[in-house]
Amino acid sequence: MQRITAKRNASLVSICVVLVLVVAILGIISRSLESTVETTLLSSKNNIEKDSNQINQYQDLQDMALFINDRWQTTQDIEKKHVYWSQVLQELSNCAPTNVQFESLIANSSKSPNFIIAGNTTTEREIIKFKDKLEASPFFKNVAFKSSSLSTDQTTTNQKLKFTLEFDLEQNKAEAVQ
């Protein structure tokens, strides 16, 4: 009985020793895994911070791109409304027959009618010709005859026909020839 008890005690002691060794080995393994996990976690945190900084930089670039895009759109809107007066006045001059003389020209692109022209000529035919040329021009639309009156020049006793035409601007500049 003593032998059996001694064997049992020896077996229990050896099982306890093995359990202590297993627990010690598991402790060592968990410590090394803990340091590895901490290192990986720290590295991941650093990568997240770096990526966050890059995202912030990209956000700044995106904000700048949106700002530039907005300015470009505003520039395009202004460009569409911009009137090239030299081209418009050249076309107006080209439409005028040789016997038509301008007395006054009122131009305002922001209200309708855009143009009011007062002038004089020798015949009604010249006024009609001028009105037809303005209507045929790609620059002008809604040409309307407003008034006319006959006046006599005191110095030469010639009669002049004074007239007024109103019309709108159809396009702001000459189309590019392709």
pLDDT at 75: 92
Q: Indicate if 58 and 123 belong to the same structural domain.
A: no
Q: Indicate if 110 and 133 belong to the same structural domain.
A: yes
Q: Indicate if 32 and 47 belong to the same structural domain.
A: yes
| E runs forming strands in the chain | 101-107, 115-121, 140-152, 159-169
Q: Indicate if 46 and 70 belong to the same structural domain.
A: yes
Kind and range of the H or E run holding 173: none
Beta bridge partners of 15: none
Structural domain contains residue 174 = no
Please provide residue 36's backbone torsions phi and psi, each rounded to the nearest 5 degrees.
-65, -45
Structural domain of 22: 1-81
pLDDT at 21: 95
Structural domain contains residue 175 = no
pLDDT at 178 over 70: no
Q: Indicate if 76 and 89 belong to the same structural domain.
A: no
CA distances from 139 to 76, 81, 170 (A): 20, 14, 5
Out of 8-17, 109-118, 145-154, give the one with best mean pLDDT.
8-17
Is pLDDT larger for residue 113 or for residue 43? 43
Q: For the segment 34-90, what is each residue's pLDDT rounded down to a tens digit?
A: 888 888 999 999 999 999 988 888 988 899 999 999 999 999 988 877 778 888 889
